[in-house]
Structure 1
Amino acid sequence: MTTADLVFHNGVVHPIDPALSATDALAVRDDRIVALGDDAVALKGAHTELIDLAGGALLPGFQDAHIHAVAGGLQRLGCNLEDVHSLDDYRSLIAAHAQQHPDDEWLAGAGWYGDVFEGGYPHRKELDQIAPGRAMVIVSHDAHGAWASSEALRRAGINRHTPDPDGGRIVRDAAGEPTGMLIESAADLVTEFLPEPDEAQLTAALLEAQRYLHGLGITAWQDAAVGAALAIPDTFETYRTAAATGRLTARVTGALWWDRVAGMDQVDFLRERRAAACTGNFRATAVKIMQDGVCENLTAAVFQAYQGHEHEHGLSFIEPDELATIVRRLDAERFDLHLHAVGDRAVHECLDATASRDGAAGGPAAWDPRHQIAHIDLIRRDDVMRMRELGVIANLQPLWAREDRVLVETKLPYLSEDQQGRHFAFRSLHGAGVRIALGSDWPVSSPDPLWGIHTAVNRTAPAGDPHAHDDHAQHVPLLASESIDLATALHGYTQGAAYANRLDDCTGTLRPGSLADLVLLDQDPYAVPSAQLGSLKVRATLVGGQVVHDAM
């Protein structure tokens, strides 16, 4: 009898497979799971490595269904405001970065939160005081806005006479002067002047992101914008080279960026990219389409006008008829669609477009698409059932579904009582039978799946999150009736995300024959109070039976 290379024991093994019960051991040979329970123990041999779970838990490796990994890596290697949440801390980090780079023509960073600033928006004068005369641009944590210094505005030619670009807004003071806050596409007016990182820097960012994500138990992800987009450089060749050289240990699905200016002329290019992304752990089987913005800056497309702004209904970046044409074409080309829709009108438009495709009702042209709508901050109740009927995946970011200061101060004031009652409707979607895949949108918010699971279950913030240290965020739930149970949350970060990532044939569950992509936790999530889920720790992460993170 052939023995196992690894046997995990002395803990609980959660297969996350409805056909399999929790057990107490798991065996690995080469890169595959070969047995569970007593059958696994029976495969111990003289050269088998025994791994003691020490009363903890073994689960399928976590997967993130919506992330911007290289952008997150670049942020970690640059002026990174991600881990702090106060104006004083921002000032200190920005000042230190400016001092460390005295000769840089442009200074760049990312990660600020609007609630830190009076009125929700930063001002150029703050940067001017920190680093006088320097051209500086700091992108917001959600990448939907940029904070620019006066010198950055001058170099970009932005003044009181500069018109708002299509799909964006230059925030101005009472005298009409730009404040330094640039919303959506207006940020491009400045970020286009930033020096692009070279391939070596992009590779370093990818490897830093991968190291960090493996440390959180993440073994696979879907990069939600592979292409020149959202002030993120094109990372296609970065991924492809890392995969070809074996440096990409994570399994990555690329969602190729849809340039709405290029239109249908780019379809051949996207096809060529998909064909070229067949090396190692990288595939590009999806296309990412942005349909709207975010509620915080009134660019998410909504049916009911924003509270206090009776003429503001947000922006549909693509006209609905054109969106339907795009969806039909990409579906016919057998691309999975990854549609960004925050507001309920944008969600409705994406569903209409998906319903228009050939085979949407299971006709002869039907195939096995993994079309998904990402974010879904708001959804009309009748569209919940439409999602199930159309087989569209709800790609959700659970860490947003809590009453932290960002939401309470910069978003909820714009939403009516009815809109607030349909906010991050996780349980409604799950209860209607909609497939759920969970992700982070990092670096918009933390990629920690355990923090995401905590918030999905409790609808409150985990204690360790620097962006929600207040008692309200940690103890007052956001629509507790829309929470999901632990099993559903775990499924969303494993089997559900694997399905969205088109990796479900070999990952997402612990069953014999599956790839040995594993995460070891210090405690069994089913054995701790729900309020402590965010405090669980990752002890080790394995991809294909190889350790990629070890904290044991």
Structure 2
Amino acid sequence: MTHADWIFSGGPVHTMDPLQPHTEAVAVANGRIVALGADAAGWRGPATELVDLTGKALLPGFQDAHVHPLAGGLQMLGCDLSGVHSLAEYRALIADHARANPAAEWIQGAGWYGDVFDGGFPHRALLDELVPDRPVFLISHDGHGAWVNSRALERAGITDTTPHPDGGVIARDGTGAATGMLIEHAADLVSALIPDPDQKHIRRALLTAQAYLHSLGVTAWQDAAVGQALGMPDSFDHYLALESEGRLTATVTGALWWKRDYGLEQIELFKERRATSRGRFRATAVKIMVDGVCENLTAALTRSYNGHPHETGMSLIQPDELARITRAVDAEGFDLHLHAVGDRAVRDCVNALDLPRREGWDPRHQIAHLDLVDPADVARFAATGAIANIQPLWARQDPVLVETKLPYLDEAHQQVHFAFETLRRAGVDLAIGSDWPVSSPDPLWGIHTAVNRTAPSADPHARDTRSQTDPLLPTEAITLGAALAAYTTGAARANRLDAERGAIRLGMAADLVVLDADPLAVEARELGAIGVDFTFAGGQPVYSRAHNGALPTLLAQ
């Protein structure tokens, strides 16, 4: 008889399998779950590692259904502003980074929040002061804008009279002068001039992101922009290389980036990429941007923005064209991953996902973000069978939402803001994605906010009392069980990994996470304080809080 490599016992095991939700032990052999409960003891052998949970909880590894690891990894290696939330801190980090990288042709970074600046937008004057000699390009935390200095504007040939590019806005002040804020595709005018990082740096960024996600208990994800997109280089070949070298320890679903200025002919490239992907990296989805975000008035709304009577946002792809694209992509057996923030964009996506069903095809189409959903579209959403890919960490009354978003929304729109429970109650399946580096990829932070509709106490972007105590539309909170499912079985289904991963069940891959507390046993307000002790991917240890690396023997036999 084959013996187990690992046996976990001594703490609650939440399987996320509705047929056997809880058990007391798990045995793992050759990367698979081979026994549960009392049967696990029979798999003990002389080399079996016995892991005493000491009352801590074992769950399936978390899966992120919408994340940008390359962007996150590059941000961690560059001028990373994501861990602070003040103008003084931004000033110090930018100046320090420029001083530490005197040979860099460009100063690049990301992670700034608009609410830090007067009027919600930064100005090139501060960057000109801090870095007068080189171009600076800093992407906003949400990825929908860039803050640049005068040198960068000059490099791109952007003047006060340069017309707005298709799908973008060059922000200007009251005198008509370009401010250094470039919205949506206007940022491409500068990012196109920045040399791609070299191969070594890109792979270092992906490995940095992988290690960070493993440290949070994430064992699988959907990369929501595989291709040259959002100012990032194409990660496709790098994922393949890491897989071939045995360094890809996560399981990754690639969502191939749809270039809106190309036609249906790009589907042939997608088919080639799907056929070439292998092992832990499979490119089975297609990502399409349908609109922007509310904070810069580019999310597509069914009525005008508050205070802007003639502005209803941008439809990056017109409804008829979107329907033509989704039908063609679905016919080739790809899962659709549609970015839709505004209620008009969501409606266009719901219409476009009213697709013919065919025998043998089990689509995992999803609409991501869903900041605003018109109540009239909820039942139709459910009827499509599409998945709601939600980012719960946004569903709270933090300064970003209160100061830079809510003022643009009328009262009726504010009442349908991140309507998670409404969607769930209507029968829409939920999957959670973090959209990192837009927001933290910590699953426990996301779960905390999904359940409480308030911010976790450690979040640097929500330190105020209102963020942490005053819930945003509390009737739209989901239960802890629903939140855990959306980060495990729900995300696994969205990632097309549910046959192998997402639950603790016999025969499943042993993607596991040991939490330092049982989420089912703590107060709801303490969920965000739970941490990760160990993470296993495919039965192999990939993170230990104690050792910050591969695990040694956890408990002497």
Q: Give the TM-score normalised by the residue count of structure 2.
A: 0.97
Partner of 1:446: 440
Question: RMSD in angstroms over aligned alpha carbons?
Answer: 0.9
Q: What's the counterpart of residue 553 of structure 2?
A: none
The equivalences for 1:303-382 within 5 A come to 303-355=302-354, 357-359=355-357, 364=358, 367-382=361-376
Q: Distance in 1 between matches of 2:250 and 2:61?
A: 10
Within 1, Cα distance between the matches of 2:349 and 2:359?
Answer: 20
The answer for the alignment partner of 1:302 in structure 2 is 301
The alignment status of 1:479 with 2:473, answered yes or no, reads yes
Whole-angstrom CA distance in 2 between matches of 1:96 and 1:461: 30
Q: Report the residue type matching 2:433 in the other structure.
A: G
Q: Contact 1:17–1:510 (CA<8 Å) still a contact in 2? A: yes
Is the CA contact (8 Å cut-off) linking 1:331 and 1:337 kept in structure 2? yes
Amino acid at match of 2:376: D
**Where in structure 1 do 4 or more consecutive aligned residues deviate above 3 Å?**
none
- Displacement after TM superposition at 1:382 (Å): 2.2
- Structure 2: 5+ residue stretches without partners: 547-557
Task: List aligned pairs for 1:402-421, cutoff 5 A.
Answer: 402-421=396-415
Counterpart in 2 of 1:118?
A: 118
Letter in 1 for 2:477: S
Q: Please name the residue that 1:132 is paired with.
A: 132
Name the CA distance, whole Å, in 2 between partners of 1:337 and 1:236. Answer: 18
The answer as to whether partners of 1:106 and 1:136 remain within 8 angstroms in 2 is yes
Give the match's secondary structure for 1:526.
Answer: coil
Do residues 167 (structure 1) and 167 (structure 2) align? Answer: yes
| d(CA) in 2 for partners of 1:498, 1:394 | 13
Distance 1:4 1:235 in 2: 36
**Aligned partners of 2:255 and 2:331: how far apart in 1?**
17
Give deviations 1:270-308, integer Å, cap 9, x for gaps. Answer: 111111112x20000000000000000000001021100
Q: Which amino acid aligns with 2:137?
A: V
SS at match of 2:239: helix
- Rounded to whole Å, the distance in 2 between the matches of 1:387 and 1:245 is 42
Q: Which amino acid aligns with 2:420?
A: F
User: Residue type of the partner of 2:283?
Assistant: A
Question: CA offsets, 1:404-455, max 9 Å, x none?
Answer: 0000000000111110110000001111110100010000000000000000
Instruction: Please show how residues 205-220 of structure 1 align to structure 2 within 5 Å.
Output: 205-220=205-220
User: Which amino acid in the other structure matches residue 441 of structure 1?
Assistant: D
Q: Is the 8 A contact 1:10 1:25 kept in 2?
A: yes
Write the deviation string for residues 455-478 of structure 1: whole angstroms up to 9, x where unpaired.
000000001111101111000000
SS in 1 for 2:313: coil
CA distance in 2, matches of 1:240, 1:45: 36
CA distance in 1, matches of 2:29, 2:272: 36
Say whether 1:268 aligns with 2:262. no
CA contact (8 A) 1:358 1:366 kept: no
Counterparts in 2 of 1:194-213, with a 5 A limit?
A: 194-213=194-213
The one-letter amino acid of 1:3's match is: H
Q: How do 1:461-476 and structure 2 match up within 5 A?
A: 461-476=455-470
Matched position secondary structure for 1:430? helix
Shift of 1:133: 2.9
Q: How big is the shift at 1:365?
A: 5.5
Deviation at 1:21, TM superposition (A): 2.9
Q: CA deviation at 1:381?
A: 1.0
Question: In structure 1, how many angstroms separate the alpha carbons of the residues matched to 2:253 and 2:463?
Answer: 34
- Per-residue deviation at 1:269? 0.9
**Alpha-carbon offset, residue 386 of structure 1:** 1.2
2:543 to 539, 546, 549: 549
Q: Please report how far the alpha carbon of residue 45 of structure 1 lies from its aligned counterpart in structure 2 after TM superposition.
A: 2.6
* Contact 1:123 1:179 survives alignment (8 Å): yes
- Superimposed CA distance per residue, residues 55-90 of structure 1 (whole angstroms, 9 cap, x where no aligned partner): 110000000000000110000001101111111110
Moved more, 415-424 or 44-53: 44-53
Give 1:390's aligned amino acid: T
Q: Which amino acid aligns with 1:432?
A: A
Secondary structure of the structure 1 residue equivalent to 2:423: helix
Q: Residues 332 and 358 of structure 1 are in contact (CA less than 8 Å); yes or no, is this contact kept in structure 2?
A: no
Is 1:29 the counterpart of 2:29 in the alignment? yes
Q: Which amino acid in 2 is paired with 1:358?
A: P
Give per-residue Cα distances to partners, 1:357-408, cap 9 Å, x unaligned.
Answer: 332xxxx467201000000000011211112111000000010000000000
Q: Is the 8 Å Cα contact of residues 506 and 515 (structure 1) preserved in structure 2?
A: yes
How many residue pairs match? The answer is 546
- Take 2:511 and 2:112, find their aligned partners in 1: how far apart are those partners? 34
2:7 is paired with a residue of what secondary structure?
strand
Match of 2:24, SS state, is coil
User: What's 2:108 paired with?
Assistant: 108
Moved more, 128-137 or 257-266: 128-137
CA distance in 2, matches of 1:502, 1:479: 31
Matched, 1:289 2:288: yes
Task: Give the distance between the partners of 1:4 and 1:401, measured in 2 at CA.
Answer: 42
Which residue of structure 1 lines up, in the alignment, with residue 549 of structure 2?
A: none
What amino acid is the match of 2:318? E
C-alpha deviations, 1:171-230, integer Å up to 9, x for none?
Answer: 111111100001000111111111211111110000000000000000000000000011
Q: Percent identity?
A: 61
Residue of structure 2 equivalent to 1:256? 256
Q: Does the residue aligned with 2:520 lie in a helix, a strand or coil?
A: helix
Secondary structure of 1:84 counterpart: coil
Deviation (angstroms), 1:106: 1.4
CA positional deviation for 1:43: 2.3
Within the candidate set 506, 512, 515, 2:509 is matched to 515
Q: 8 Å contact 1:31–1:515 — kept in the other structure? A: yes
Structure 2 counterpart of 1:126, one-letter code: L
Q: Which residue in the other structure is 2:522 paired with? A: 528
CA distance in 2, matches of 1:130, 1:371: 45
CA distance, structure 1, for counterparts of residue 408 and residue 8 of structure 2: 51
SS of the counterpart of 2:65? strand
Query: In structure 2, what is the equivalent of residue 458 of structure 1?
Result: 452
Structure 1 residue 2: Cα displacement: 3.7
Secondary structure of the equivalent of 1:139?
strand
Partner of 1:46: 46
- d(CA) in 1 for partners of 2:178 and 2:317? 27
1:46 deviation in Å? 2.5
Q: What letter is aligned with 2:240?
A: R
CA contact (8 A) 1:358 1:365 kept: no
The one of 391, 395, 398 aligned to 1:401: 395
Name the CA distance, whole Å, in 2 between partners of 1:274 and 1:399: 31
Shift of 1:333: 0.4
Residue equivalent to 2:494: 500
Alpha-carbon offset, residue 12 of structure 1:
0.3
3-state SS of 1:42 partner: helix
1:37 is displaced (CA, Å) by: 1.2
Alignment correspondent of 2:550: none
SS at match of 1:465: coil
Separation of aligned partners in 1, 2:103 and 2:205: 22
For 2:178, the aligned partner's letter is P
CA distance in 1, matches of 2:488, 2:131: 45
